[in-house]
Amino acid sequence: MTTARTVFDGSVAADTRRYLKGLSRLGPRGQLAASLFRAQKASTRAKFYHGGIKTGYGRKTFRDLAYDHKQDAINAVCELLQELSGRLVLTWGWGEDKGQSINRWVLYVELPTGQVSFHSPQRGAGPDYLRGWDGANLSCERISQWCDSIVEARDLLKGDP
């Protein structure tokens, strides 16, 4: 079985697309897991990008483009969570990190594997998050574990080893 972390750490876009397409087909949990995976991958990649490309009248860095992609993914997560409200019971919402000057809004999602969070320059759609940050920088690991658990559950139902 291909693990989420293997795909996440890889740099083959076709593998990532194939994995996320398969995950998205596994129902609402799979769709949300794929959206969280996208947001986390964009966030992680943005921290390592340097350089830029010409876009229109200005210059946008690869890092800027990755953060734009992250924001699109965060927006998709919020939209999906609102759409799945009632069908998928997860605690989630927005909190403010007053220690940040630019990306002070934080989207929190509590998965069965633990809390994950994403900083954002603007607050997105959704409820307030009434709990605080759990103090762990484990979003990547927790998202990957949740993706794997969804795939494993599907494999068990099909009778695959």
Mean pLDDT within 72-99: 94
On the 0-12 / 13-18 / 19+ scale of CB atoms within 10 A, 89 is exposed
- Which domain does 95 fall in, by range? 4-158
Looking at residue 109, what is its pLDDT?
98
Mean pLDDT within 64-81: 92
* Residue, of 107 and 153, whose pLDDT is higher: 107
Looking at residue 159, what is its pLDDT?
53
* Tens-digit pLDDT profile for residues 22-72: 999 999 999 999 999 999 998 998 887 766 665 666 667 777 888 899 999
DSSP run (H or E) holding 5: helix 4-9
Global pTM?
0.88
Residue 21: strand, helix, or coil: helix
**Helical ranges in 59-124 per DSSP H:** 62-83
Looking at residue 22, what is its pLDDT?
95
Q: How many domains does the chain have?
A: 1
CA distances from 109 to 3, 45, 112, 122, 129 (A): 21, 20, 10, 17, 9
Q: What CA–CA distance (Å, rounded) separates 44 from 110?
A: 19
Looking at residue 53, what is its pLDDT?
63
DSSP character at residue 97: -
**CA atoms lying within 13 Å on the CB side of residue 35:** 19
* Tens-digit pLDDT profile for residues 88-121: 889 999 999 999 988 999 999 999 999 999 999 9
Looking at residue 66, what is its pLDDT?
84
Q: What CA–CA distance (Å, rounded) separates 121 from 6?
A: 30
Q: Looking at the chain, how many residues does it have?
A: 161
Looking at residue 64, what is its pLDDT?
82
